[in-house]
């Protein structure tokens, strides 16, 4: 996510920090590099021009140039402007309090991830206590209704299909179905095309008139680049949507389209999709995303993810670890929590500097590594897991054979256990700093190698 842009910006700031006092030429060079980084990330050129101009004007003030830490001030200015570019404040989903059911209509081009986004949104709202109904109103794409029905079945949400011919009728009937079955939300999945055409627009307008949606959300593929600008402009004119769901954000190293949407249309990004799983749809926070782009992490996001999976037993386990030390069972528990929180890749983006460090450590983001380590731990006896120091050479060979892994991998895991307390201390220190330098990144790469996340398979 924004990997290329993030790397370029962090390199630019790194060079500024090495200069101490800054001259106007230093600012001009930095702004030129930022401009090129944004353009290469496929940000709309008009957006880039305005963004760089605002940053440059603020960076050249005497308060910045004459300060003791001008480089830090430049970083803060870029962070503030990037937050404004992304939307400044959170834009929550607005639902009517005096209407049941509320109707949310999704629009967008074919291939943008609209049907998947509908299911993910239903899953998110179901978790918030709502009772959603999915309406399969894409009557043009073969098997679209089947896809939605499959996704709905996986998350325990009903899908209304109707006759599968008249999209407007299906949408209207879905609202009546929701009333009859006490669903308080209807999520309407509409048809898309490979490109904007009159038939698609007319159908979207007709559905809007028929069901009077409380919210219209446009689903955009983050990999769409500058084409996003033309698409959102047309939909904004014809349908007047309320906000954006940015899909496939985890699969785009550039992500410039996401940075262009708010500036070009004035429409906020409300959700972002960061993976394939039902729980991968997240509420969009502009300030947090800006910090992640600049390599500052998202500590609040980590806390929120941890709170979702936390329970009383984990609190008791943490207290026990402080008293009695760290066991293999504790290591296994931590890995299972990482899975619940979205996996290594997702968590790495929230830790300052970690995403970049993982990119430089071969195999670091390999989710299968967790599976291999789990297999090794499960092949240990209860006593071995509690007291790993008792695992001698003969035991290591038995554990390796039982897990289908090599003795070298077992040795690597035991070494990891021995260093885990020290490694966690370093990680806490890095997270509290809020930014990571080259020395810290090297430390994290070393940590991941010791944890068996970048070694041989």
More confident residue, 255 or 82: 82
- Indicate the pLDDT class of residue 448, thresholds 50, 70 and 90: very low
User: Among residues 267, 294, 295, 284, which one has the least CA distance to residue 92?
Assistant: 284
More confident residue, 451 or 71: 71
- In which residue are the tokens 């038939």 written? 199
- In which residue are the tokens 């809020």 written? 434
User: Among residues 63, 27, 43, 23, which one has the least CA distance to residue 252?
Assistant: 43
pLDDT at 154: 94
Tens digits of residue pLDDT in 174-200: 999 999 999 999 999 998 876 777 888
Residue 34 has pLDDT above 70, yes or no: yes
pLDDT at 88: 75
Query: Which of the four CATH numbers 3.40.50.300, 3.30.1220.10, 3.40.80.10, 3.40.630.30 does domain 102-284 have?
Result: 3.40.50.300
More confident residue, 379 or 426: 379
Q: Where are the CATH 1.10.260.30 domain residues in the chain? A: 311-451
Most confident by average pLDDT, 1-5, 236-240, 330-334: 236-240
pLDDT at 364: 45
Question: What dotted CATH number matches 311-451?
Answer: 1.10.260.30
Most confident by average pLDDT, 146-155, 224-233, 293-302, 436-445: 146-155
Percentage of residues in the chain with pLDDT exceeding 90?
31
Q: How far is 117 from 148, CA to CA, in rounded Å?
A: 10
Peptide bond into 101 cis (omega under 30): yes
Q: Where are the CATH 3.40.50.300 domain residues in the chain? A: 102-284
Tens digits of residue pLDDT in 355-413: 554 455 444 445 677 788 889 999 999 999 888 888 999 999 999 999 999 999 999 88
Least confident segment among 101-115, 162-176, 324-338, 425-439: 425-439
User: Among residues 163, 144, 142, 153, which one has the least CA distance to residue 106?
Assistant: 144
Give the residue ranges of the annotated binding site for GTP.
108-115, 189-193, 247-250
pLDDT at 102: 94
pLDDT at 355: 55
353: number of CA atoms within 13 Å, CB side? 21
Q: Where are the CATH 1.20.120.140 domain residues in the chain? A: 5-86
Contact 80, 202 (CB under 8 A): no
Tens digits of residue pLDDT in 47-67: 899 999 999 999 888 777 677
Give the residue ranges of the annotated binding site.
108-115, 189-193, 247-250
b/e code 55-64 from CB counts within 10 Å (16+ = b): bbebbeeeeb
pLDDT at 173: 95
392 φψ region: left (φ > 0), alpha (ψ -120 to 50), beta (else): beta
pLDDT at 275: 77
- Indicate the pLDDT class of residue 109, thresholds 50, 70 and 90: confident
Q: For domain 5-86, is the CATH number 1.20.120.140? A: yes
Residue 443 has pLDDT above 80, yes or no: no
Residue 312 has pLDDT above 80, yes or no: no
Residue 452 has pLDDT above 50, yes or no: no
**CA 204 vs CA 188, 264, 266, 282, 440: distances in Å:** 11, 22, 21, 25, 51
């Amino acid at each position: 996510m924004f990997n290329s842009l993030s790397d370029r910006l962090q390199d630019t700031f790194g060079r500024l920090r090495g200069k101490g006092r800054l001259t106007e030429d230093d600012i001009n060079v930095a702004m030129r590099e930022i401009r090129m980084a944004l353009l290469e990330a496929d940000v709309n050129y008009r957006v880039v021009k305005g963004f760089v101009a605002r940053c440059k004007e603020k960076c050249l003030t005497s308060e910045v140039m004459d300060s003791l830490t001008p480089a830090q001030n430049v970083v803060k200015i870029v962070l503030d402007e990037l937050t404004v570019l992304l939307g400044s404040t959170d834009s929550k989903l607005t639902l009517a309090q005096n209407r049941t059911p509320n109707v949310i209509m999704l629009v967008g081009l074919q291939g943008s991830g609209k049907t998947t986004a509908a299911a993910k949104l239903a899953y998110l709202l179901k978790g918030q206590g709502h009772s959603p109904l999915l309406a399969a109103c894409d009557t043009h794409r073969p098997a679209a209704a089947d896809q939605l029905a499959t996704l709905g079945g996986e998350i325990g949400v009903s899908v209304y299909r109707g006759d599968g011919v008249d999209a407007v009728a299906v949408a209207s009937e879905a609202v009546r179905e929701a009333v009859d079955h006490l669903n308080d939300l209807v999520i309407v999945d509409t048809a898309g095309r490979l490109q904007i055409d009159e038939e698609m627009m007319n159908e979207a307008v007709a559905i809007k008139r028929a069901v009077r949606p409380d919210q219209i959300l446009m689903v955009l593929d983050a990999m769409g680049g500058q084409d996003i600008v033309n698409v959102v402009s047309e939909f904004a004119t014809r349908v007047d949507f309320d906000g954006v769901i940015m899909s496939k954000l985890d699969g785009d190293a550039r992500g410039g389209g996401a940075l262009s949407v708010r500036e070009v249309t004035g429409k906020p990004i409300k959700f972002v999709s960061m993976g394939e799983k039902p729980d991968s749809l997240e509420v969009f926070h502009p300030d947090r995303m800006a910090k992640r782009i600049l390599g500052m992490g998202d500590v609040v996001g980590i806390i929120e993810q941890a709170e979702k999976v936390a329970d009383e037993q984990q609190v008791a386990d943490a207290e026990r670890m402080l008293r009695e030390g760290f066991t293999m069972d504790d290591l296994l528990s931590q890995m299972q929590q990482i899975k619940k929180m979205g996996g290594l890749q997702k968590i790495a983006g929230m830790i300052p500097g970690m995403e970049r460090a993982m990119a430089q450590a071969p195999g670091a983001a390999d989710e299968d590594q967790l599976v291999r380590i789990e297999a090794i731990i499960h092949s240990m006896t209860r006593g071995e897991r509690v007291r790993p120091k008792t695992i001698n050479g003969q035991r290591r060979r038995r554990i390796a054979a039982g897990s289908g892994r090599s003795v070298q991998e077992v040795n690597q895991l035991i070494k990891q256990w021995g260093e885990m307390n020290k490694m966690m201390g370093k990680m806490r220190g890095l997270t509290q700093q809020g930014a990571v330098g080259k020395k810290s990144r090297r430390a994290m790469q070393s940590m991941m190698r010791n944890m068996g996340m970048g070694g041989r398979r």
